[in-house]
Amino acid sequence: MANAASAATGPSDLLKIEQSGRVLSVGLNRPAKRNALNEGIVLAIGDCFASLPEGIGAVVIHGIGDHFSSGLDLSELTERDATEGLRHSQMWHRVFDRIQYSRVPVIAALRGAVIGGGLELAGAAHIRVAEPSAYFALPEGQRGIFVGGGGSVRLPRLIGVARITDMMLTGRVYSATEGAAYGFAQYLVEQDQALPRAMELAAGIANNAPLTNFAVLQALPMIAEANPQTGLLMESLMATVAQSDKEAKLRIRAFLDHKTKKVKPT
């Protein structure tokens, strides 16, 4: 990765973190376990998002090796009682909330297994890029468990309650092509191109006006879920704040002076 500075995180190098310009890439680094999510790696993700370096404008999450994540490391479940399980689930909620409500946009680059908790993690990101090897599943019904990382809240908003119900009851697996059509991912790219494409998107996003990015991440979801009149008022307030920002005024002037490109189909 050009001009990248690398830093390992965690005593077992559970994450591989690299900075390229204003983009931070966060690699899940348990390839021998198909990047299964144990407590250590989830806590490491939380620590990473709690202390993003200054100047970072976007984050890309991906899996080291052939898979994004095969989900919860089930070996951890055998040692927990109900109280510990509740606390464990709430810990996942706190960590994934840090992704969803991050101060900068987060893109997930998906390949191979995107299963269970791995799909919940991907669902917390704002944009998802998948390559043909990616496949999506929620095998909770066959495992005798239930989603615990926020999937019952986030995933139905992406693909609908009926589709999530089918996946959990029957173990249905969706291919990358189906996933892109149904909303699991916004982009479908060629093999081995998910990470490069995600980094490309992130670099462009990082150059947006910071206040606009903030509005999209923080205000847009609230507006979408508000009653129409409340949503319209919130939109007006956010639009007023955004367009009064000094950065917005500079960008609008550059456009009017023909210093920036017009929007055209690609």
Question: Position of tokens 């669902």?
Answer: 123
pLDDT (tens digit per residue) in 22-61 = 999 999 999 999 999 999 999 999 999 999 999 999 999 9
Q: How confident is the model at residue 2 (pLDDT cuts 50, 70, 90)?
A: very low
Residues 6+ apart with CB under 8 A from 35: 28, 29, 41, 63, 64, 65, 67, 68, 69, 70, 113, 118
Instruction: Read off the tokens for 17.
Output: 């973190």
Residue 253 per-residue DSSP state = H
Domains of the chain: 4-206 (3.90.226.10), 210-256 (1.10.12.10)
**Residue-wise DSSP of 99-157:** HHT-SS-EEEEE-SEEETHHHHHHHHSSEEEE-TT-EEE-THHHHT----SSHHHHHHH
Q: Assess whether 140 carries a catalytic annotation.
A: yes
Does residue 69 contact residue 28 with C-beta atoms inside 8 Å? Answer: yes
Instruction: Read off the tokens for 237.
Output: 């307030």
Taking the C-alpha atoms of residue 194 and residue 82, their distance in angstroms, rounded to an integer, is 38
Catalytic residue (choose from 79, 140, 178, 247) = 140
pLDDT (tens digit per residue) in 194-242 = 999 999 999 999 999 988 998 999 999 899 999 999 999 999 998 888 8
